[in-house]
Amino acid sequence: MGCVRKAKGVLQAAERQRYGQLLRRLKVSAQPGPCPSHPPELVRRSVQAAAAGAGSLQLGESEGHRLRLRVAYDGSRYHGWARVKGGSPLTIAGVLDRAFSLLLRRQVFLCGASRTDAGVHALGQAAHVDVAADRPENWQELWQRKLNEQLPDDIRVRNLEDAPADFHARFSASGKTYVYRLHYGENPTNPLERLHRFSMPLSWVRDFQLSELHDAAALFRGQKNFLYFTSPGKLERKRSTVRNIHDIRVVEEAPGQCRVEVDLDGAVYRMVRNMVGCMVWVARGRISSDCVEELLSGSFSQVNPVPRSVCSEGIDAMPPKKAKGVIKPKAKAKGKAKAKAKKVDKVGAAKLDWPSLGFNYVKTKSHIRFVYKDGKWSKGKLYTDPFMPVHMLANVFHYGQALFEGFKGFHTKEGDVCLFADKLSLGRMNHGCRRFMMPEVPVEIWDEAVQIVVKDNAKYVPPYGSGGALYVRPFIFGSGPKLGLGPSEEYTFVVFANPVGSYYKAAEGMQGVEALVTDHYDRAAPLGCGDCKAAGNYAADLESMYEAKKKGFPISLYLDAKERRYVEEFNTSNFVGITKDGKYITPDAARSVLNSNTNKVLTQLAADMGITVERRRIDFAAEVDTFTEVGAVGTAVVVTPIKSLTRGDQVWNFGQPEVLKKLHDKVRAIQQGEEEDPHGWMTKVRMD
């Protein structure tokens, strides 16, 4: 007890000393002339709150008012927010204290939402200040104008308003967002951005990988121990250094430029700048992810092992929730750690409800891009931001040079990840490239792209037995500007991956769907580009599809554009009919029908099973009654049974699929690695 009383006495003495210093400053700093009534008790409590740093202070109606303000500033020449003894070096709070004191003719102290470090900028840091009850009628406009007239050009009060008596800038804050902007391109950064964006030296750019920065960011998410991410000897080393990162994002702003956004409740001294420095070191291969994880456990064996801040200039801030800050690192690196090979995410590690997946967009980790220009392809580059900067006159927007493909990857019974029939997609894409006067995609680039993307997005591969797949979509488009009609001079080839389930939920379990035969729309012209997987073909189907769905039909069937007589295909897939005598009938590969990869696989498997396969024209009216089973087949829908076809007032119903179910089960067994792949359709992804 004696030790406790002694410690308490020391603290009280220190508080009295600080309180006395502040009172003396108050007396010296008070401006002459008339001033509003300010109760001594309120002055004493306000000074005590400032002396304590951010103590809780509540006011009654009769005592005065608590004001809430938003402050924007360029912190380049300031030593952070917090006031310092003697007024030197210059701080944001010190300058604001003086401006408010001159305005109110009395010494006041602001309380900020966050203690920011030297060089930090803000777009709207929250603060509060207590003032006397007497105020002019138009005090908000008047005070804000006068404050900004007194403040230097790099500090502005953006908003001034009454706050509840129990509002506290620090303790009422819902969160803080720190933003760090980086330039990692080979071209120099814009000189106007030099104080708000760190430009990496060229030697750093050569080994910097944005995808690795994204991976490194994920390591900091959640509750971690930041013992090794604060500066030595600071008070934080004696207090808890455990902090919670709600979210951390790497957002690509433009080629060669990105920003790191960190959402948190609070940080230890220099924590975020050291985090970003560490992330950049990981992205350059200087330290491993395993090393970072060990650092965040708080039990690293080395002394000061974290690479310190990466730069001495360049930061900006985003608008705040309640309080905002931005971290400005300084170039300095300490400690060494051996770089390790990138660790591949575990298959299915993404926390998704796999059985509930539909055919919808899911934000995944990355995609890859290649650019064709001046007769050659660039090297592929991974991107984590799903947005792409594209010229407003890009050929794709005006003259429609765009093709896409689709195939699936599966987690097999043996634990491998394999792609199904991806080379068939390559062949079909290059057929479309020739038709659209676009450069063909070399098989080497195709293989590199799909292997890298699937491997980098391994955690989004639905695990074996979940019923899902990783849908891989390659696409190519004219990305160069083109005002007059003609082929583009530049093309971009992209591959991304997305976890999917059933396209038609109603058809799960081979239950089947109802289809409408459309007579008022054409999918493609007889000599057009219907045999290419062109984006425009699907745009032409949207109105027809929407009208069919309004009538209760999830899928519709097109007849030929010339005579409205012969079956062509469904709006999402090829048509297959099983006749009463067990034949597999499908339309021939005309220029108006897409040559389905799944249909190719099914016809081969049907032939293997001894089923007669016929590719020919199908006269709808004459032959529809001969089918006992009808199916829609394609990469997305796989094999979807059709329960009925409706054309006008006529309805044709079909029985339970038997042949189609056998073929469906055979394909699925091969895809899942449960049966032998007799025709080499499966391509294994190299995950090491």
Residue 516's CATH number: 3.20.10.10
CA distance 464 to 417: 10
Provide the pLDDT for residue 302.
Answer: 44
**Which pair of structure tokens corresponds to residue 337?**
């750690």
Provide the pLDDT for residue 230.
Answer: 76
**Average pLDDT for runs of 10 along the chain of length 688:** 42 46 40 33 41 38 71 78 67 82 80 72 80 77 83 84 80 76 78 74 82 87 83 55 87 87 79 84 81 73 44 41 37 37 76 90 94 95 90 96 96 95 96 97 96 95 93 98 95 97 74 92 90 93 93 94 94 94 91 92 96 96 95 89 94 92 94 94 91
Instruction: Assess if residue 8 is contained within a domain.
Output: no
- Residue 678, CA distances (Å) to 413, 601, 665, 670, 681 in order: 17, 11, 15, 9, 8
Provide the pLDDT for residue 326.
Answer: 35
Q: Mark whether 492 and 615 lie in a shared domain.
A: no
CA distance 403 to 533: 6
State the residue range of the domain holding 101: 30-163
Paired with 487 in beta bridges are none
Q: Mark whether 361 and 483 lie in a shared domain.
A: yes
Q: Mark whether 538 and 634 lie in a shared domain.
A: yes
Read off the pLDDT of residues 217-257 as tens digits, 9 standing for 90 and up.
Answer: 888 988 888 887 876 544 444 567 888 888 899 988 888 88
Instruction: Assess if residue 346 is contained within a domain.
Output: no
What is the residue type of 232?
P
Q: Mark whether 542 and 629 lie in a shared domain.
A: yes
Length of the chain: 688
Instruction: Using alpha carbons, select from 104, 103, 95, 125 the residue that is nearest to residue 113.
Output: 125
Number of domains in the chain: 4
76 by DSSP, 3-state: which?
Answer: helix
Largest separation between any pair of C-alpha atoms in the chain = 108
CA 115, 120, 125, 129 torsion-angle sign = positive
CATH code for the domain of 367: 3.30.470.10
Alpha helices in 530-646 (DSSP H): 535-539, 542-550, 597-608, 620-623
Contact status, residue 369 vs residue 380, Cβ threshold 8 Å: yes
Q: pTM of the predicted model, to two decimals?
A: 0.55
- Using only the alpha carbons of the chain, give its radius of gyration: 33
CATH code for the domain of 103: 3.30.70.580
**Which pair of structure tokens corresponds to residue 3?**
């030790």
Query: What is the separation of C-alpha 416 from the centre of its chain, rounded to a whole number of angstroms?
Result: 27
Q: Mark whether 535 and 472 lie in a shared domain.
A: no
Instruction: Assess if residue 350 is contained within a domain.
Output: no
Contact status, residue 96 vs residue 104, Cβ threshold 8 Å: no
Instruction: Assess if residue 422 is contained within a domain.
Output: yes
CA distance 586 to 604: 13
Give one DSSP letter per residue of 496-511, joined into a string.
EEEEE--SSGGGTTT-
Q: Which listed residue (176, 455, 533, 666) is catalytic?
A: 533
Q: Mark whether 513 and 482 lie in a shared domain.
A: no
Provide the pLDDT for residue 101.
Answer: 82
Q: Mark whether 362 and 247 lie in a shared domain.
A: no
Give one DSSP letter per residue of 179-215, joined into a string.
EEEEE-SSSPPPGGGTTTSEE--HHHHTT--HHHHHH
Active site residue 551: no
CA distance 200 to 180: 13
Instruction: Assess if residue 1 is contained within a domain.
Output: no
CA distance 466 to 349: 13
Residue ending a domain, choose from 106, 130, 163 = 163
Q: What is the helix (H) or strand (E) element at residue 217, kind and residue range?
A: helix 210-219
Tell me 320's DSSP state.
P
| For helices 597-608 and 422-435, angle between their N-to-C axes, nearest 10 degrees | 130
Q: Mark whether 513 and 638 lie in a shared domain.
A: yes
Read off the pLDDT of residues 92-150 as tens digits, 9 standing for 90 and up.
Answer: 788 888 888 887 777 878 887 776 767 677 777 788 888 876 777 788 888 888 888 88
CA distance 441 to 474: 10
CA distance 83 to 72: 17
Instruction: Assess if residue 681 is contained within a domain.
Output: no
Q: Mark whether 517 and 653 lie in a shared domain.
A: yes
Q: Mark whether 460 and 580 lie in a shared domain.
A: no
Instruction: Assess if residue 541 is contained within a domain.
Output: yes
Q: Mark whether 488 and 522 lie in a shared domain.
A: no
Contact status, residue 206 vs residue 354, Cβ threshold 8 Å: no
CA 660, 662, 664, 670 torsion-angle sign = negative
Instruction: Assess if residue 687 is contained within a domain.
Output: no
What is the residue type of 366?
S
**Which pair of structure tokens corresponds to residue 665?**
């089960």
Residue ending a domain, choose from 142, 163, 184 = 163
CATH code for the domain of 313: 3.30.70.660
Residue with tokens 């690795």: 212
Instruction: Using alpha carbons, select from 239, 250, 233 the residue that is nearest to residue 304.
Output: 233
Provide the pLDDT for residue 337.
Answer: 35
CA distance 681 to 668: 12
Residue ending a domain, choose from 98, 133, 163 = 163
Q: Mark whether 626 and 519 lie in a shared domain.
A: yes
Contact status, residue 111 vs residue 125, Cβ threshold 8 Å: no
CA distance 260 to 251: 6
Q: What are phi and psi for residue 130, nearest 5 degrees?
A: -105, 130
Instruction: Using alpha carbons, select from 136, 130, 137 the residue that is nearest to residue 167.
Output: 130
Instruction: Using alpha carbons, select from 474, 491, 482 the residue that is nearest to residue 408.
Output: 474
